[in-house]
Amino acid sequence: MREAKTAKNRVHLDVEVGHLDGLLGLGATVLREPDDEISWFVMADPEGGEFCAFLRPRRPSLPGRLYEVVVDCADAHAQAAWWGELFGLVPEREPKEHFAALESDGRLPFDYLCFVPVPEAKTVKNRVHWDVRVADAGLLTERGATVLRAPGDDIGWHVMADPEGNEFCAFTPPD
């Protein structure tokens, strides 16, 4: 069940599209158009979830694809290092930028996992989360993750939080 939006989404998706017609036809709305500060559209899905749409006019037939997952956080470089170690990816650091990113080399189902520092603290459960496959969920807790819910009769995976409290699900091989 989707959580009702009660605060700014700390995790959002960025998509690439050839045009906005498909998104608008599905009920998305434009919240902000490209301007002097940004080169993408900030949009909302019918339930109010924000996402960004990167228009790729040279590929007008592009129906839409997940481009990146963006996570607001307190310490972007620490978060990128933590997740980078898990995925075996080295964080990219732009010398003049405060954000950090992991570029996929095929291990992620999208191009980038980005971490952007924000001043406000996380106050509610994220409306968006991701799932990972790991050999042993215990290794995640050793590295600083927290188990929010262990596998049981109703679920076969761990619900966990990274060091900054972002929820994710960890799937392990069956016993």
* Residue 113 and residue 88 in contact, taking contact as beta carbons nearer than 8 Å: no
Q: Please tell me the pTM assigned to this model.
A: 0.88
Strand 100-103 vs strand 92-93: parallel, antiparallel, or unpaired? antiparallel
Nearest to 121 by CA among 44, 42, 8: 8
pLDDT value of residue 64: 82
Q: What is the pLDDT along the chain (175 residues), one digit of tens a residue?
A: 566 677 788 999 999 998 899 999 999 999 999 999 999 999 999 988 999 999 987 776 667 889 999 999 999 999 999 999 999 999 987 666 788 999 999 889 999 999 999 999 999 999 899 999 999 999 999 999 999 999 998 999 999 999 999 999 999 988 7
* 3-state SS, residue 57: coil
* Domain 10-121 matches domain 129-175 at the CATH topology level: yes
**49 DSSP assignment:** -
In whole angstroms, how far apart are CA 126 and each of 9, 83, 86, 164? 7, 17, 20, 12
Beta-bridged to residue 103, according to DSSP, are: 112
Alpha carbons 45 and 41: distance in angstroms, whole number: 13
Alpha carbons 52 and 15: distance in angstroms, whole number: 6
Token digits of residue 143: 């590295």
Write down the architecture of domain 10-121 according to CATH: Roll (3.10)
pLDDT value of residue 98: 83
pLDDT value of residue 9: 87
Q: How many CB atoms lie within 10 A of CB 122?
A: 18
pLDDT value of residue 26: 93
Q: What are the residue ranges spanned by the domains of the chain? A: 10-121, 129-175
Spelled out in words, what is the top-level CATH class assigned to the domain 129-175?
A: alpha beta
Distance between terminal CA atoms of the chain?
28
